[in-house]
């Protein structure tokens, strides 16, 4: 059976879930002609793809030589933890996790709370400004700056550089969509070169003047006689900045939009905002219901039997995480947003050896940012929402909200996809 959904169809990108549900009825693993690879439609199949050791992340270099404009792009991927496989992945993950596990994430909690509070003051000022019509774009004013400011703090990069880092990161991740255009490719090459030089400079500074940040831990981390090479260090930091940014922005935007679309769930959430366990469950449902990352590819290193099909050595298979997270075999009322859903074994952070290293940070950031938003602003409603035209990284370009009228008041119509 061949999957028929079209990833570039605007209707699919706006709401891929009906087409993914229809595809699921045709089987857990299907060939997709347009993509030229296998795709999974169920939770079990996505989980198996991410865990099967015959299926690996294989990065194919683009550069023809050291002077090629793809050179930096290539080594930023080839030397990164995300694009390597054992034994290299095991070694890199040990070194990077060793640095991460030095308490940097928990230590950051008060700072994340402070960043959220400062940004929310700006959000409130915008809402109170008569020129805004009582509306504010949550992506621009809150969701986008917050994770970059947090990652700057984690790494000890100057907060004033956050827009620079955001722009580089956005230029690079556009390469992960299907068929990037020539200008997108050139932008990504330039962003890689500038980003790598920036991080190299920062790492050299930290080697000379150690601080108490993650970057210093990465520079100094040793495992026996082993340590990250210069390229591995730069590739790790660029990955942390990219991974730590895009998915968090989209996780927040998608999740808040899902929540605000369910007024009864919002009422329950507003009543339990002081309960950290309830907020933690809310964030898991935000990540499940409209996941920020939808597609992760693997390449078969040998023939692999997968839910009734044979993936031949050299063929690719994509785990579709959004489809997995709406699988009715695992999630009751799969299309409904249920803030207190329990259990919630979603795959938004992946599975297996590449399981998201930043999940504790992402969870902390999302819990603090959504709790602070609703505590300060109360009931909100979406008045305008514009999606990014991308499937792999699914998110909103803008999510304009206003204070919701009190129950019983007459409501104006608002546009929401
Ligand atoms: C809502 C936010 C996030 C989501 C949904 C997310 C999701 C994911 C997923 C699905 C993977 C696995 C990719 C694969 O199997 O091919 C992954 C890997 C990774 N993520 Fe995240 N991520 C998020 C935030 C973060 C943050 C904040 C950081 C770090 C600051 C981070 C760092 C990483 C790293 C380093 C890896 C690679 C791990 C490895 O290859 O061993 N992520 N993430």
Q: How much is the pLDDT for 326? A: 98
Q: How much is the pLDDT for 1? A: 65
**Is the omega angle on the peptide bond into residue 148 within 30 degrees of 0, that is, cis?**
no
CA distances from 5 to 2, 11, 17 (A): 9, 10, 11
Q: How much is the pLDDT for 415? A: 43
* Confidence category of residue 406, pLDDT binned at 50, 70, 90: low
Q: How much is the pLDDT for 407? A: 59
Other CB atoms closer than 10 Å to residue 236's CB: what's the count?
Answer: 26
Does the 63-289+351-403 domain belong in CATH 3.40.50.300? no
- Quick one: average pLDDT of 376-403? 96
Average predicted confidence (pLDDT) for the chain: 93
The answer for residues whose C-beta is within 8 angstroms of residue 20's C-beta and 6 or more apart is 5, 41, 320, 322, 323, 326
Q: Hey, whose CA ends up nearest to atom 11 of ligand 1?
A: 356
Residue-wise pLDDT for 384-395, tens only, equals 999 999 999 999
CA distances from 54 to 35, 89, 182 (A): 21, 15, 33
**Contact status, residue 165 vs residue 194, Cβ threshold 8 Å:** no
Residue-wise pLDDT for 196-244, tens only, equals 999 999 999 999 999 989 999 999 888 888 999 999 999 999 999 888 7
Distance 129 CA to ligand 1 centre (A): 38
Residue-wise pLDDT for 13-38, tens only, equals 999 999 999 999 999 999 999 999 99
Q: How much is the pLDDT for 272? A: 97
The ligand 1 site (C-beta within 6 Å) comprises 50, 57, 81-82, 93, 151, 239-240, 243-244, 247-248, 251, 292-293, 296, 348-350, 354, 356-358, 361-362
Burial of 194 (0-12, 13-18, 19+ CB in 10 A): middle
pTM: 0.94
Q: How much is the pLDDT for 183? A: 95
Q: How much is the pLDDT for 411? A: 44
Q: Bigger pLDDT: 100 or 364?
A: 364
**Residue of 97, 103, 113, 105 lying closest to 360 (CA atoms):** 105
Distance 147 CA to ligand 1 centre (A): 13
246 is annotated as an active-site residue? yes
Distance 365 CA to ligand 1 centre (A): 14
Q: How much is the pLDDT for 410? A: 45
356 is annotated as an active-site residue? yes
Q: Which of 105-114, 141-150, 176-185, 334-343 has the lowest mean pLDDT?
A: 176-185
For the record, the structure tokens of 79 come out as 């030397």
Q: Which of 4-18, 174-188, 401-415 has the lowest mean pLDDT?
A: 401-415
Distance 349 CA to ligand 1 centre (A): 6
For the record, the structure tokens of 248 come out as 């968090």
Q: Bigger pLDDT: 169 or 338?
A: 338
Q: Hey, whose CA ends up nearest to atom 7 of ligand 1?
A: 349
Q: Bigger pLDDT: 166 or 355?
A: 355
Q: How much is the pLDDT for 216? A: 93
127: Cα within 13 Å, side-chain hemisphere: 20
Burial of 60 (0-12, 13-18, 19+ CB in 10 A): exposed
* Confidence category of residue 417, pLDDT binned at 50, 70, 90: very low
pLDDT at 414 over 60: no
Residue-wise pLDDT for 239-288, tens only, equals 998 887 889 999 999 999 999 999 999 999 999 999 999 999 999 999 99
**Contact status, residue 40 vs residue 28, Cβ threshold 8 Å:** yes
């Amino acid at each position: 059976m061949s999957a028929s959904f079209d990833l570039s169809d605007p209707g699919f990108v706006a709401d891929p879930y009906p087409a993914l549900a229809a595809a699921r009825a045709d089987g857990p693993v299907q060939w997709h002609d347009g993509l030229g690879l296998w795709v999974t439609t169920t939770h079990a199949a996505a989980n198996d793809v991410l865990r099967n050791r015959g299926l690996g992340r294989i990065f194919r270099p683009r550069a023809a030589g050291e002077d090629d404009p793809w050179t930096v792009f290539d080594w930023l991927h080839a030397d990164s933890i995300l694009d390597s496989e054992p034994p290299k992945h095991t070694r890199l993950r040990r070194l990077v996790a060793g640095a991460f596990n030095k308490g940097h994430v928990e230590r950051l909690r008060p700072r994340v709370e402070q960043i959220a509070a400062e940004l929310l003051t700006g959000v409130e000022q915008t809402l109170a400004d008569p020129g805004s019509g009582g509306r504010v774009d949550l992506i621009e004013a809150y969701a986008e700056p917050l994770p970059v400011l947090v990652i700057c703090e984690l790494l000890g990069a100057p907060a004033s550089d956050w827009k620079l880092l955001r722009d580089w990161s956005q230029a690079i991740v556009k390469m992960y969509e299907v068929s990037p255009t020539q200008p997108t490719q050139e932008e990504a090459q330039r962003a890689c070169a500038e980003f790598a030089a920036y991080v190299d400079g920062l790492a050299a500074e930290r080697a000379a003047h150690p601080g108490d940040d993650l970057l210093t831990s990465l520079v100094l981390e040793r495992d026996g006689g082993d340590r990250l090479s210069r390229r591995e260090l730069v590739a790790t930091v660029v990955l942390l900045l990219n991974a730590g940014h895009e998915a968090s922005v989209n996780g927040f935007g998608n999740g808040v939009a899902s929540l605000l679309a369910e007024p009864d769930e919002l009422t329950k959430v507003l009543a339990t905002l002081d309960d950290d366990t309830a907020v933690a469950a809310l964030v898991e449902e935000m990540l499940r219901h409209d996941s920020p990352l939808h597609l992760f590819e693997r390449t078969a290193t040998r023939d692999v039997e997968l839910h009734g099909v044979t993936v031949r050595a050299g063929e690719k298979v994509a785990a579709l995480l959004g489809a997995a997270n709406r699988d009715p075999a695992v999630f009751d009322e799969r299309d409904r947003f249920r803030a207190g859903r329990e259990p919630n074994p979603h795959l938004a952070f992946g599975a297996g050896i590449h399981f998201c290293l930043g999940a504790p940070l992402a969870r902390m950031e999302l819990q603090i940012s959504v709790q602070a938003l609703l505590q300060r602003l109360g009931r909100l409603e979406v008045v305008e929402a514009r999606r990014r035209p991308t499937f792999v990284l699914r998110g909103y370009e803008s999510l304009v909200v206003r204070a919701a009228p009190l129950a019983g008041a007459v409501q104006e119509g608002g546009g929401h996809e």
